[in-house]
């Protein structure tokens, strides 16, 4: 790996749905790209999936925060993520002069999936609930991503992967990104969301937690870290545990935060590190 800082950005939330914001994110990414950063993007697309499933007349339920995905739903999920969202993102990035390449985990066997079961405790019994084609990351192969980065391309991954038998799975985009960030040993893993970071109390603007070490996370889980923030923090844990140097949650509705942090060195959002920070 060269001396360039390597960054993986998990892109999601309103920054994806709003085309004006999407262009603003692309402008900031172009600044990073032009400054010599090695960049990888990972995205999901929940709202787009909901839209295509509704159009196809397929109902799907959420179990333990995961969308149960039948075989017929999986076809629509892949169409939404790879066809609509990935294609659109690549088009926007290309229009700003960035050599973007649209991929899923299936390409080059970059991500191998395994089936995910939802475990539910009922009394003294633990019940396994079948989520259909919902997966977890089993293995990562970074060869293709490394080849693209070496040649100044920007890989844009969506969170679909196959298992060793060739069955396709939809993987939570945050966790997909965390695993990939770790395997690529990025200098910065950045999760873009719709808030300024992790708050002790979301109703109090001055309660932003600017730094957490991995050991601080467990006591806060389900108390301070709730809802959609859970997979984002878990993805940071995975990334740090498997090779990323730092993880940070930033507000994707303020795209300039990307360059403020990575080029100007400003302290924004919530930074998560493997060890406690010493002043």
Strand, helix or coil at 258?
helix
* pLDDT confidence tier of residue 122, bands split at 50, 70 and 90: confident
**CA distances, 167 to each of 68, 72, 106, 110, 114 (Å):** 15, 13, 10, 15, 9
Residue 154 pLDDT > 80, yes or no?
Answer: yes
* Strand pairing category for 6-11 and 38-43: parallel
**What's the gap between Cα 269 and its chain centre?**
16
pLDDT of residue 279: 47
Q: pLDDT, tens digit, for every residue of 82-109?
A: 999 999 999 999 999 999 999 999 999 9
Answer yes or no: CATH 3.40.1160.10 is held by domain 6-273.
yes
Residue 278 pLDDT > 70, yes or no?
Answer: no
Tokens of 19: 């085309």
pLDDT of residue 277: 61
Domain ranges in the chain are 6-273
More confident: 256 or 13: 256
DSSP notation for 76-123: HHHIIIIIIIIHHHHHHHHHTT--EEEEETTGGG-EEEEEEEEEEEET
* pLDDT confidence tier of residue 14, bands split at 50, 70 and 90: low
pLDDT of residue 150: 96
Q: pLDDT, tens digit, for every residue of 162-220?
A: 999 999 999 999 999 999 999 999 999 999 998 888 998 888 888 999 999 999 999 99
Packed helices 19-34 and 87-95: angle between N→C axes, nearest 10 degrees:
60
* pLDDT confidence tier of residue 123, bands split at 50, 70 and 90: confident
pTM for this entry? 0.94
8 Å CB contact between 176 and 137: yes
pLDDT of residue 56: 96
Residue 120 pLDDT > 70, yes or no?
Answer: yes
Residues of the chain with pLDDT > 90, as a percent, come to 76
């Amino acid at each position: 790996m060269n001396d360039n800082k390597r960054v993986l950005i998990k892109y999601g939330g309103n920054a994806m749905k709003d085309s004006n914001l999407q262009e603003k994110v692309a402008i900031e990414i172009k600044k990073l790209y032009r400054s010599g950063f090695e960049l990888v993007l990972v995205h999901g697309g929940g709202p787009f999936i909901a839209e295509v499933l509704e159009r196809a007349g397929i109902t799907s339920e959420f179990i333990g925060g995961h969308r149960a995905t039948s075989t017929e739903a999986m076809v629509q999920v892949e169409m939404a993520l790879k066809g609509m969202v990935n294609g659109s993102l690549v088009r926007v990035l290309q229009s700003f002069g960035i050599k973007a390449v649209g991929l899923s985990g299936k390409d080059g066997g970059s991500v191998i999936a395994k089936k995910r079961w939802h475990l539910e405790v009922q009394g003294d019994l633990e019940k396994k609930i079948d989520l259909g084609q919902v997966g977890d990351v089993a293995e990562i192969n970074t060869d293709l991503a490394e080849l693209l980065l070496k040649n100044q391309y920007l890989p844009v991954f969506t969170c679909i992967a196959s298992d060793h038998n060739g069955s396709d799975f939809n993987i939570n985009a945050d966790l997909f990104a965390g695993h990939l960030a770790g395997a690529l040993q990025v200098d910065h893993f950045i999760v873009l969301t719709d808030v300024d970071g992790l708050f002790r109390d979301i109703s109090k603007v001055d309660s932003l937690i600017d730094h957490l070490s991995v050991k601080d996370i467990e006591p806060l889980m389900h108390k301070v870290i709730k809802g959609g923030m859970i997979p984002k923090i878990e993805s940071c844990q995975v990334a740090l545990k498997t090779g990323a140097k730092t993880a940070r949650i930033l507000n994707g509705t303020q795209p300039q935060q990307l360059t403020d942090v990575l080029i100007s060195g400003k302290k924004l959002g919530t930074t998560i590190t493997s060890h406690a920070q010493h002043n």
